[in-house]
Amino acid sequence: MTSALLPAAAIHPPHEPALLAQYRHIRSATEAIVADLSDADATVQSMEDASPAKWHLAHTTWFFEEFVLAARVPDYEPVDPDYRFLFNSYYESVGPRHPRPRRGLLTRPSLDEILAYREAVDESMLTLLGAAQTDAEAALITLGLHHEQQHQELLLTDILHLFAQNPLRPAFAPELLEPVIADPRPAPDWVRFDGGVVEIGHRGEDFAFDCEGPRHKVFLQPYTLCSHPVSNHQWFEFIDDGGYQIAGLWLSDGWRWVCEQGIQAPLYWEEREGTWWQMTLRGMHPVDPESPVTHISFFEADAFARWAERRLPTEAEWEHAARNLPATGNFIEGRVLQPLPDRQNTSGALRQMFGDVWEWTGSAFLPYPGFHPSAGAVGEYNGKFMSSQMVLRGGSCLTPESHIRPSYRNFFYPHQRWQFTGVRLADDD
């Protein structure tokens, strides 16, 4: 699950400071997210794709208990044997699990009991981290921490979806400071790339998920990318031009989805007296025309690209373009919790490639040449999902900054849009 591991016999010294500090930081960051939630807030499941906050807290703890403590600590006794069934997500080789669509029915255990579960597992993990670990054990713990960072983003997107179903439209974080935006901002521009034979996939010794490799060569025709992701203002134009009513713009499955679901705008948009409003983690606000559009499906991204007489980039084009850019931007650490307009008034280069919104690509989530899933249950992490999903790149305003890199491959089904998903246009040179 990581790249360039040391030999399996290598031993990390006890009290490994970086890993111990990382564990403490990431686990406490998760609990900070739910600090102001009630037990009811943390229990309700708003749809099958989402999970209750309580379940996220427990599942990320189950991961360490199941894959690290149970394997590493002799005669380890689980905190509660029922949790092995309740909080397994999709690991078939571990055993049976509570059905995903019914996670919201788990009124027991309570939120306090789940937090106590986390505390008990953390105590055992901190003891373990104070002892020597093999490199393989340290790699598994690192995987668990990156897994928890994924769930931090899911926690917030699932809370947003839940609160959006409440007619009171409660705000998760109403007191966040408004960011200062530079003005004037540059107009979208086009950046050209020569293409040719290029390499994509993770390189180096830092952490990467297994699906980010092996590194391999691909051939790219010359192409261009838009300097900025598509804005809400551009999406207003798409709506006003009848984009959601023109069948010829849509893939067949997309048009069926539009018709069956009555889709007329991005998720969380509501029209009030001629003005579009949007549900956010800050509550309901008018849609900012200059910010990147978000909460759109692959179907919508593809239809918009066709309307604009452009196309979506492939994931190889996206990674090739981003390969030398710093992975900095509007991430969760900024505590804005929503996409922002371009905050610098420079032009002529790619902007906002990282953070703000995940960017749909035109590439299916498939294995790279030479990919083989890891042995054991952790091999189910990514490989089993390489079917019927599309790749997104770049991270969002809810992604931890230390979690993202140019080779990172996110993936969702084409109709899903409760994540902070947007689009950047591409074209042939």
What is the amino acid identity at position 354? Answer: F
Q: How far apart are CA 103 and CA 80, in angstroms?
A: 17
Only one residue has tokens 């490199």, namely: 135
Task: Say if residue 81 is preceded by a cis peptide, omega within 30 of 0.
Answer: no
Main-chain dihedrals φ then ψ at residue 406, nearest 5 degrees: -60, -30
CA nearest neighbour of 365 among 406, 331, 411: 411
Largest CA distance in the chain: 67
Give me the pLDDT at residue 10, please: 41
CA 372, distance to chain mean position in Å, is 23
pTM for this predicted structure: 0.93
Segments of the chain with pLDDT less than 50: 1-15
Q: Write out the residue limits of the CATH 3.90.1580.10 domain(s) in the chain.
A: 190-428
- Give the pLDDT confidence of 11-69 residue by residue, as tens digits: 344 445 789 999 999 999 999 999 999 999 999 999 999 999 999 999 999 999 999 99
- Give the pLDDT confidence of 226-273 residue by residue, as tens digits: 999 999 999 999 999 999 999 999 999 999 999 999 999 999 999 999
Whether domain 190-428 has CATH 3.90.1580.10? yes
Q: Write out the residue limits of the CATH 1.20.120 domain(s) in the chain.
A: 11-165
CA nearest neighbour of 228 among 349, 386, 68, 48: 349
Give me the pLDDT at residue 386, please: 87
Strand partners for 393: 359
CATH number corresponding to 11-165: 1.20.120
* Other CB atoms within 10 Å distance of the CB of residue 421: 27
